[in-house]
Amino acid sequence: MAVDIAGYNNPSRTMAHLREVHEGLWRVLRTSFAETGIPWDACFVENTGDGAMILLPPEIAKADLVAELPNRVRDELRRYNYVRSAEAQVRLRMALHAGEVAQGSHGSISPAVSFTFRILEAPEAKAAQKEAKADLALIASELIYRDVVDHDPAADPVSYRRIPVKVKTGERPAWAWLRLLGAVNGTHVAAPKAVKLEGFPALVEALLAVPCVRRAESRRLLLDLFPRREIADVVPYHAEDRLHVIALARTCQRFDGGLGDLLGAVRTIEPESPQVTALAAIIDDWHEGRTS
């Protein structure tokens, strides 16, 4: 876990403000960990000046980090900020990733740690938090989102949106998932691109009625032919056909134009049939519902 105080070096903050902000960070983190049941003393914690690096032992349930901890941090930030001036208030970005970590003579050695700080600094996360004035920007790596968040309804996976991560020249493109928590002028931050639940069962049944979607072999070809790799590559795999189709539909919903891309890929394999026509009608109705 990597944590950063948004706008820490804002010129309006005096040394007194910075001391208050710094103390507030540690108070919020320690209290949130305690309320979540995560033992603070079992973690390796390093002060990074305007934030913290926290290495959590493998016995800490990752589900707690994505389902319990974010809400606790948000609530503690609200309590802290309620009685502070604007210059002393704290907004946080928190990044989560998993991987192997080794200890060298002068600190931790790990590509996973480096990547965690990379997603923490994602420009799109910073801009989104600043625009929304959100108390907490939670940034999950693709690994954490795919293996933990997306499998736990308590983690509110539909409130996340996929964002690009800045990489160095020659590196492969990287992605992360962003969730904003907090309040703006007393109102809750709206969840970005929330999944439309009404009509979803009909969409799933229409997809399952199309042979090239229903069968596992042709579904693999469908994903290979998908025009946008940023969608196809993050569809969670399930051995059971129905669950895999549900995951496919849910993933496409989270991207603008994703269902249209899915229909296009289906028509590449199965140009026209009554089942494809019925699916197209449902997807068209879905689009009209979102834009009305």
**Is residue 46 within 8 Å of 2, Cβ to Cβ?**
no
SS3 116: helix
Tell me the one-letter amino acid at 176. A
DSSP state of 14: -
pLDDT at res. 109? 75
Give the Cβ contact number of residue 76 at 10 Å.
22
Give the rounded distance of the alpha carbon of 63 from its chain centre.
13
* pLDDT at residue 243, as a whole number: 86
Measure Cα distances from 212 to 119, 241, 259, 263, 273 in Å.
37, 12, 16, 12, 11
Which pLDDT score is estimated for 101?
Answer: 85
CB atoms within 10 A of CB 53: 19
Predicted local distance difference test score (pLDDT) of residue 151: 87
Joined tokens for residue 185? 């002028």
pLDDT of residue 167: 67
User: pLDDT under 70 in the chain at which residues?
Assistant: 105-106, 167-170, 183-198, 286-292
Check residue 151 and report its DSSP letter: G
pTM of this structure? 0.64
In this predicted structure, what is the pLDDT of residue 170?
Answer: 64
Q: Tell me, what's the pLDDT at 275?
A: 86
The HSE-up count of residue 89 (CA atoms within 13 Å, CB side) is: 15
| Cα separations in angstroms, 38 against 34, 56, 60, 61, 175 | 6, 9, 7, 9, 28
List helix spans (H) across 168-273: 200-209, 211-214, 216-225, 229-232, 241-253, 258-269
Burial of 153: CB neighbours in 10 Å, binned 0-12, 13-18, 19+: exposed
Domain ranges of the chain: 2-188, 200-291
Other Cβ atoms within 10 Å of 252 Cβ, number: 24
Question: Which structure tokens are listed for 233?
Answer: 């590559």
The CATH H-level (homologous superfamily) assignment of domain 2-188 is: Nucleotide cyclase, GGDEF domain (3.30.70.1230)
The counts of H helices and E strands in the chain are 13, 11
